[in-house]
Amino acid sequence: MAKAAKTAIKTKDQKAASDAKNWTKVIRALRSPKTGAYTFKESIVHKDKIKEHLGQ
Protein backbone atom coordinates (compact mmCIF):
# COMPACT_ATOMS: atom_id res chain seq x y z
CA MET A 1 0.00 0.00 0.00
CA ALA A 2 2.79 2.46 0.81
CA LYS A 3 4.51 1.85 -2.51
CA ALA A 4 1.35 2.75 -4.41
CA ALA A 5 1.06 6.01 -2.48
CA LYS A 6 4.68 6.98 -3.23
CA THR A 7 4.14 6.27 -6.92
CA ALA A 8 1.04 8.44 -6.95
CA ILE A 9 2.99 11.34 -5.46
CA LYS A 10 5.82 11.04 -8.00
CA THR A 11 3.55 10.94 -11.03
CA LYS A 12 1.23 13.70 -9.84
CA ASP A 13 3.14 16.57 -11.49
CA GLN A 14 5.17 15.29 -14.44
CA LYS A 15 6.06 18.76 -15.75
CA ALA A 16 7.65 19.84 -12.47
CA ALA A 17 9.56 16.57 -12.25
CA SER A 18 10.94 16.95 -15.78
CA ASP A 19 11.94 20.59 -15.14
CA ALA A 20 13.83 19.62 -11.99
CA LYS A 21 16.11 17.37 -14.04
CA ASN A 22 17.46 20.43 -15.86
CA TRP A 23 19.10 21.87 -12.74
CA THR A 24 22.42 20.78 -11.22
CA LYS A 25 24.07 21.43 -7.87
CA VAL A 26 27.58 22.81 -8.38
CA ILE A 27 30.08 22.70 -5.51
CA ARG A 28 33.24 24.76 -5.85
CA ALA A 29 36.29 24.52 -3.61
CA LEU A 30 37.73 27.97 -2.93
CA ARG A 31 41.04 28.51 -1.18
CA SER A 32 41.41 31.37 1.28
CA PRO A 33 44.41 33.58 0.46
CA LYS A 34 45.02 34.38 4.15
CA THR A 35 44.87 30.96 5.79
CA GLY A 36 45.13 28.57 2.86
CA ALA A 37 42.07 26.68 4.10
CA TYR A 38 39.46 25.49 1.63
CA THR A 39 35.84 26.57 1.76
CA PHE A 40 33.04 25.19 -0.36
CA LYS A 41 30.45 27.27 -2.19
CA GLU A 42 27.29 25.52 -3.36
CA SER A 43 24.91 26.81 -6.00
CA ILE A 44 22.08 25.49 -8.14
CA VAL A 45 22.69 26.14 -11.85
CA HIS A 46 20.79 25.27 -15.01
CA LYS A 47 22.54 22.46 -16.87
CA ASP A 48 23.12 24.64 -19.96
CA LYS A 49 25.05 27.26 -17.95
CA ILE A 50 27.42 25.09 -15.91
CA LYS A 51 30.54 25.92 -17.95
CA GLU A 52 29.79 29.65 -17.75
CA HIS A 53 29.36 29.39 -14.00
CA LEU A 54 32.62 27.48 -13.50
CA GLY A 55 34.51 29.91 -15.74
CA GLN A 56 33.89 32.78 -13.33
In the chain, where are the structural domains located? 13-54
b/e map 3-41, b = 16+ CB within 10 Å: eeeeeeeeeeeeeeeeeeeeeeeeeeeeeeeeeeeeeee
Q: What is the mean pLDDT of residues 19-43?
A: 91
Residue 41: strand pairing partners: 28
Query: What is the percent of the chain with per-residue pLDDT over 70, rounded to a whole number?
Result: 77
> What was the pLDDT predicted at 43?
93
Q: What is the pLDDT of residues 11-29, one digit of tens each?
A: 667 777 777 788 999 999 9
| Averaged pLDDT of the chain | 81
